[in-house]
Amino acid sequence: MYCVLQYIDYLNFKRFRDTSSATVSSLQSLDEEASNSTLYFNPNCILQLILDYICTEAHLNVDGNHYDMCNGDGDLLGIKDYKPNASGLTIFQRRETYFIVILKRNESGTAIEEITPLLHPQSAAYQNLVKNMNKKLNKKRSSLTKVSFIFTLLVKKTQHSHQFCYAGRVSKKAFFTTSQELIVA
């Protein structure tokens, strides 16, 4: 059994990023040189060996906190949250396609500011992955708006409630600070 990884060599990715303001003709010349590559890997292996293999093949020499992998739906795997000796089968599904993403974090390193797929920017895989990630982001934004609206109504009804609250179908725990800011836990 195997998994599939689609990626662009990190060196070519850096060239694309560096020429983001370049002309169309120069991007077309890069286009011929830098199409997505396909890598097959065995998920029945420890995670650290899988990641070492992927990083070697993709020439990915960035800090481990600055990249992750995602599936075709755009779900981040959080590979750095697992122990290095974890089985790849706990993370990867057989015969699934995965992608490397470059993470740009805030100054404190606690939040992700930007996610960039390590794919050729003009490829169908890149376009589909970005579209799927944007759909997920919009769903999260709309659900947070709904949660905010429901809890705003709840604040008006219970002005002095500082306890954990549940509202209707909302499954998240939340509480209000004394300034009535919503804190979702």
Q: Which pTM value belongs to this model? A: 0.68
- Domains along the sequence of the chain with CATH: 3-122 (3.10.20), 142-184 (no CATH)
Residue 159 — pLDDT band, cuts 50, 70, 90?
Answer: very low
Measured over the CA atoms of residue 100, residue 135, residue 137 and residue 167, the dihedral's sign is negative
- The per-residue b/e assignment along 65-77, b for 16 or more CB within 10 angstroms, e otherwise, is eebbbbbeebebb
Is the pLDDT at 140 greater than 70, yes or no?
no
Mean pLDDT, residues 45-64? 89
Mean pLDDT, residues 114-142? 85
